[in-house]
């Protein structure tokens, strides 16, 4: 848990959401969603002090560790994620059913300064002027490309992407420190052009990720995992990546930590629970590296280091060893936000708290469930 006497090192901007997971037209689960929920699970788990700016509607169904702004005139952003058993329809189809109010530049305090900023909108809530304000407040701003290129069908809310060059955000590219995209999103970025202006990290699922910068590129090794649900994997990657930078890691080592948390997330349904023993092992490793390299973790510069550390492979091995403990779970040994997914039909539609989950008397999915190909 983040201690309250620490100054926030990160500013995280993006809305919480309600997520509904649907497979073959049957609702599997409901969960707290939004990139900020996955990122905060990582940053809180690693005790990285951060400030969050998020909005929800008065219908927001989950308790969270970082209180969002509640907007009485808006509903909480709601996504339906469709999956299919058919081989040809393995990829997720995502639809935005409702959208909360965007985050305005005036919602960000002008008095605070941060080493790192994270623009992680998922439902169109990040505005160009909001990103500009973040750039003014933070030494280094990291942006998830989905915050910039997602658009939503007027009829059914289906999510699609547009080229970054077509958006009002493109002019800000030279002021961004790191741009993160999935391999599916990368074609909308023009990586070869973007890398001239900022670091670009492309996540490749089971193949890890690739780091691009003006003078080079590096492939960063993955952590093998049986995928259960890809939702939030990129967000957890970004949380781990930033946690690494906060502790003074080079970009390749920070990306390795990102791959690690992404792999933990895809192995679970909805918002992940992180084994406390894994988190402690990661903290110990970060502390050890801080002792080996004096000056960490109080990093004040905004210069990214792209050379792999001499013990990069050792770091990978240490994280792999930490992950092994998840195969032998112990009761009450998990860290998570309060909004773990609930299986539909549990407790006859009423979900009761067990210390990790929220009371949901009414379902958050309001509209009739439509087929993913409608």
Q: What is the pLDDT of residues 117-173, one digit of tens each?
A: 999 999 999 999 999 999 999 999 999 999 999 999 999 999 999 999 999 999 999
334 exposure class (CB count in 10 Å sphere: 0-12, 13-18, 19+): buried
What is the percent of the chain with per-residue pLDDT over 90, rounded to a whole number? 68
Q: Which CATH class is domain 10-349?
A: alpha beta
Predicted confidence at residue 90, as pLDDT, reads 53
CA distance 133 to 110: 8
Please give the residue that has the higher pLDDT: either 344 or 235.
235
User: Given the DSSP bridges, would you call strands 138-144 and 114-119 parallel, antiparallel or unpaired?
Assistant: parallel
37: CB partners within 8 A, 6+ apart? 16, 17, 64, 232, 235, 271, 337, 339
Predicted confidence at residue 122, as pLDDT, reads 96
Predicted confidence at residue 143, as pLDDT, reads 98
For the residues 329-346, what does the mean pLDDT come to? 49
Predicted confidence at residue 359, as pLDDT, reads 32
For the residues 309-322, what does the mean pLDDT come to? 94
Active-site annotation holder among 235, 253, 311, 373: 235
Per-residue confidence band for 336, with pLDDT thresholds at 50, 70 and 90: low
Q: Identify which of 27-36, 81-90, 151-160 has the greatest average pLDDT.
A: 151-160
Predicted confidence at residue 286, as pLDDT, reads 92
Q: What is the pLDDT of residues 195-206, one digit of tens each?
A: 999 999 999 999
| 235 labelled catalytic | yes
- Structure pTM? 0.85
Predicted confidence at residue 319, as pLDDT, reads 95
Please give the residue that has the higher pLDDT: either 357 or 283.
283
Left (φ > 0), alpha (ψ -120 to 50) or beta: where does 295 sit?
left
């Amino acid at each position: 848990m983040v201690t309250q006497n620490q100054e926030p090192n990160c500013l995280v901007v993006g809305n919480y959401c309600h997520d509904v997971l649907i497979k073959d037209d049957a609702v599997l689960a409901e969960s707290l969603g939004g990139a900020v929920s996955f990122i905060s699970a990582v940053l809180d788990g690693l005790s990285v002090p951060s400030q969050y700016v998020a909005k929800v509607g008065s219908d927001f169904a989950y308790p969270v560790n970082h209180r969002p702004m509640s907007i009485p005139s808006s509903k909480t952003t709601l996504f339906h994620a469709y999956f299919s058993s058919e081989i040809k329809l393995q990829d997720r189809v995502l639809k935005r059913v409702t959208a909360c109010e965007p985050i305005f530049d005036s919602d960000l305090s002008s008095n605070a300064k941060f080493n790192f900023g994270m623009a992680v909108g998922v439902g169109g809530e990040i505005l160009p002027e909001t990103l500009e304000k973040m750039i003014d407040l933070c030494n280094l701003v990291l942006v998830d490309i989905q915050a910039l290129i997602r658009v939503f069908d007027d009829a059914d809310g289906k999510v699609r992407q547009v080229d970054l060059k077509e958006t009002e955000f493109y002019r800000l590219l030279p002021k961004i420190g790191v741009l993160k995209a999935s391999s599916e999103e990368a074609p909308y970025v023009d990586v070869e052009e973007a890398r001239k202006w900022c670091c670009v990290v492309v996540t490749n699922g089971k193949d890890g990720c690739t780091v691009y910068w003006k003078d080079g590129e590096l492939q960063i090794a993955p952590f093998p995992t049986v995928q259960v649900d890809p939702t939030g994997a990129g967000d957890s990657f970004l949380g781990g990546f930033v946690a690494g930078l906060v502790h003074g890691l080079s970009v390749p080592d920070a990306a390795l930590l990102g791959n690690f948390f992404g792999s933990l997330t895809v192995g679970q349904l909805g918002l992940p629970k992180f084994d406390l023993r894994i988190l402690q092992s990661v903290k110990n490793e970060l502390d050890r590296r801080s002792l080996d390299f004096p000056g960490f973790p109080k990093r004040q510069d905004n210069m990214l280091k792209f050379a792999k550390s001499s013990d990069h492979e050792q770091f990978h091995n240490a994280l792999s060893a930490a992950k092994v403990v998840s195969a032998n779970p112990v009761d009450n040994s998990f860290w998570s936000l309060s909004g773990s997914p609930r299986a539909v039909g549990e407790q006859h539609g009423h979900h009761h708290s067990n210390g990790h989950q929220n009371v949901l008397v009414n379902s958050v999915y309001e509209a009739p469930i439509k087929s993913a190909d409608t």
